[in-house]
Chains A and B, each alone.
Chain A
Amino acid sequence: GQNIDQPTEMTATEGAIVQINCTYQTSGFNGLFWYQQHAGEAPTFLSYNVLDGLEEKGRFSSFLSRSKGYSYLLLKELQMKDSASYLCAQGGSSNTGKLIFGQGTTLQVKP
Chain B
Amino acid sequence: DIQMTQSPSSLSASVGDRVTISCRASQDIRNFLGWFQQRPGKAPKSLIYAASYLQTGVPSNFSGSGSGTDFTLTISSLQPEDFATYYCEQYHTYPPTFGQGTRLE
| A pairs with B | no
* Chain A interface (Cβ < 8 Å from any Cβ of B): none
* Chain B interface (Cβ < 8 Å from any Cβ of A): none
